[in-house]
Amino acid sequence: MFKKFNIKEDIATRSLVKSSVQRNIRSKILEQYNRLEPVIDEVLPKKSSLILVKCHEHINLLTVNNEILFFQHFDGPYYPTLRLLHKYPHAFPRVQVDKGATKRILSGANIMCPGLTSKGARLEEALPANTIVGVFAEGKEHALAIGLTKMSTDDIKNINKDIGVENIHYLNDPLWKSSIES
Amino acid sequence: MSEQDTPAPSTSASTAVQVIYCGVCSLPPEYCEYGPTLSKCKEWLQEKHSELFDKLYSQTNIENDVATLSLENKPTNDAEDKKKAKVFIEAAKIERELQKKMASKVTITRIARNKKKSVTNVGGLQNFDIDLKKAAKNFASKFACGSSVVKNNQGIDEIVVQGDVSDDLYDYILETWPNVPEDNIELTEEKKSKK
């Protein structure tokens, strides 16, 4: 999604979110990531001024204190950014890929099933299709991508072919590099 | 391998994990090896977070030693060499870009509009990672005049400052952005001499 993205040029509008809308967003995020509940006040403090940055191609960014926390495409689910995922790695479902896949993911490739089922990889939780997951690498501590499962984990194990997790946001992609300036 | 490296999931999720990011390539240091600036990242890490450096690279060093040891017996590994060459080429590429950047010029041009009035045109600031919009705003408040970002006929953004402020601009640029070398600023007059 972010292969071509230039924060400087792509920002359309930037607006302070009303507190009622902010509550809405907050509950939506909690609905999606119920494991985020204990830390939600840290992530989205109630008194914080949440700024919604609308970008071209229907990308919305939620920022607090000039930090991009979540992004959203069209009306879809809220994705956490990698920096947020690094801070709260346990608040999101995780999958782990083997070593061979690391390099490809960092250049933006989708994750194929074999990379998720081989020896170094891990699929600990049973996840349905279309779940937002943090992608971790074998032998590394931090996540390297945010993905969207294309099939359930059971299917990934059984079919073991084609795209298992779509790569949404990865280390060093334009979104990672971009920072919001006030 | 995977078991010892993944953090225990029991660590409480309620506190934010502090992640160190590499100052050179902005990735978490463990991913520096996938970036093009590994050698520089290593230097940075050693300087700033030597503990982490030891943790990350001591193992690979040993592995390298083992590799070289075993290499003495075997004929040289072609694939390895190629990989190294590739990394080297990429590093050189970045170096070259940096040099190019250092060589790029900032041009300050005074353009006469009618007999008494003139505008000052500043081009090339974007090569030094300067936000043109902000710079224009700064100029406007500094010199108390209109200042804006305009595309020139080649489609490159330039800053146009109303009034003749070329000499002041020269000093101001040097003052505000020390990364712009003095030799790279060119003062010119009239449109003819403009690059």
In the CATH hierarchy, which top-level class contains the domain A89-170? alpha beta
CATH of the domain at B140: 3.30.780.10
Phi, psi of A12 (to 5 degrees): -95, -60
Distance (Å, whole) CA B58 – CA B67: 14
In a domain, B86, yes or no: no
The residue with greater pLDDT, A115 or A181, is A115
Structure tokens at B125: 């600031």
Distance (Å, rounded) from C-alpha A141 to C-alpha B4? 10
Chain B, nearest residue to A138 by Cα: B2
Task: Please tell me whether residues B115 and B48 are part of one structural domain.
Answer: no
- The tokens describing A153, both together, are 């984990």
Distance CA B168, CA B150 (A): 20
How does strand A67-73 pair with strand A59-64? antiparallel
Q: If residue A111 lies in a helix (H) or strand (E), which one and from where to where?
A: strand A111-112
From B18, B25, B30, residue closest to A140, measured CB to CB:
B30
- B34 and B109 in a single domain? The answer is no
B52 and B111 share one domain: no
User: Which residues, other chains included, contact A19 with Cβ-Cβ below 8 Å and sequence gap of 6+?
Assistant: none
Average pLDDT of adjacent 10-residue blocks, chain B of 195 residues: 40 65 82 80 84 76 52 56 75 78 81 85 83 87 89 84 88 85 81 46
Contact A88 B2 (CB under 8 A): no
pLDDT at A179: 73
CB contact under 8 A, B26 and A177: yes
Which residues of B sit within 8 Å Cβ distance of A?
Answer: 1-2, 5-7, 9, 11, 13-19, 25-28, 30-31, 34-35, 131
Residue B65 lies in a domain: no
User: What residue ranges do the domains of chain A occupy?
Assistant: 7-83, 89-170
Is residue B131 packed enough to be buried (19+ CB in 10 Å), middle (13-18) or exposed (0-12)? middle
* Chain A, window 44-63: residues with a beta carbon less than 8 angstroms from a chain B beta carbon: none
> What does each C-alpha distance from B56 to A152, B45, B52 come to in angstroms?
34, 10, 6
Q: Measured between CA atoms, how close is A24 to chain B, in angstroms? A: 22
pLDDT (tens digit per residue) in B119-131: 888 888 888 878 8
Q: Kindly indicate whether the ipTM for this predicted assembly is greater than 0.85, answering yes or no.
A: no
* pLDDT mean over A131-144: 89
User: Which pLDDT value is given to residue B125?
Assistant: 84
Q: Which of the listed ranges A5-19, A26-40, B19-33 does the model predict with the highest average pLDDT?
A: A26-40
- Could B19 and A142 be called an inter-chain contact, meaning their C-beta atoms sit closer than 8 Å? yes
Q: Is residue B182 part of a domain?
A: yes
Q: How many domains does chain B have?
A: 2
Identity of the residue in B7, B18, B34 whose CB atom sits nearest the CB atom of A106 = B34
Tokens 């003749």 correspond to: B164
pLDDT at A79: 92
DSSP, collapsed to helix, strand or coil, labels residue A80 as strand
B11: in domain:
no
Q: Which token pair is B104?
A: 């790029």
Q: Are A119 and A127 in contact (CB under 8 A)?
A: no
Strand B106-112, strand B185-189: pairing: parallel
Say what the pLDDT of residue A146 is. 92
pLDDT at B16: 76
Which domain, by its residues, includes B125? Answer: 103-190
Does some domain include residue B75? no
Four-CA torsion A64, A65, A71, A77, nearest 10 degrees: -10
Nearest neighbour of A172 by CB, restricted to B15, B27, B30: B27
Average pLDDT for A170-174: 87
A81 close to B (CB below 8 A): no
- A67 CB near a chain B CB, below 8 Å? no
Q: Is A44 helix (H, G, I), strand (E, B) or coil?
A: coil
Mean pLDDT, rounded, for A18-28: 90
What mean pLDDT do residues A3-23 have?
Answer: 83
pTM, two decimal places: 0.69
CA distance A79 to A92: 10
Phi, psi of A135 (to 5 degrees): -100, 120
Identify the CATH number of the domain defined by range A7-83: 3.10.400.20
Residue B77: its pLDDT value, please? 62
Q: What is the pLDDT of residues A62-116, one digit of tens each?
A: 988 888 899 998 888 999 999 899 888 888 898 999 888 888 888 888 999 988 8
Max distance between CA atoms of chain A, in angstroms, equals 49
- Confidence band, pLDDT 50/70/90 cuts, at residue A176: confident
